[in-house]
Amino acid sequence: MMPVDATMPILIVDDYKTMLRIIRNLLKQLGFEHVDEAVDGSEALKKMREKRYGLIISDWNMEPMTGYELLKEVRSDSTLAKTPFIMVTAESKTENVVAAKKAGVDNYIVKPFNAQTLKSKIDAVFAE
C-alpha cells in the first residue's frame, strides 16, 4: 500500500466552524499541513477550480449546497472528477450511504470520529 502523500493539499468543507477546526486538528495530527477550508459547497467548488486538491473532506448537511450536491458537481466536472472525496455525516442512514456511493463518493465517515478513523478512511481511499 502506497503511503498517503502528507504534502498534498486537502480541502475540508463544513458550515460548522467547530467541525472545521476539529478536522483540521485531526489532519495535523496525521501530518497533513496543507489544509484549506470552505464553509459550503459553492465556496468549495470555487476553491477547487482555483487550486488542485489531493482530497476533499466534506460534511453532508450544509446550506445552501449540501455535501451530496457538491459531490455530484465535482464528479460531473471533468477537471475535478478524479479528486478523492470523503463524506462526513452525523447520520449513517443507509439510503444516504447508497446515494453517496452512486454519486461517486470514495469513503464515508460518521461523526463523531477520531484521528485513527480518519487515517484509516484516508488510507482506504488511496489504497485503490
pLDDT digits (tens, 9 = 90+) for 14-70: 999 999 999 999 999 999 999 999 999 999 999 999 999 999 999 999 989 999 999
Please tell me the pTM assigned to this model: 0.94
The Cα-based distances of 31 to 1, 34, 59, 65, 101 in angstroms read 18, 9, 21, 30, 28
What angle, 0 to 180 degrees and rounded to 10, lies between the N-to-C axes of helices 94-103 and 67-76?
20
Q: Is the pLDDT of residue 117 over 80?
A: yes
Q: What CA–CA distance (Å, rounded) separates 122 from 35?
A: 14
List the domains of the chain with CATH numbers. 10-127 (3.40.50.2300)
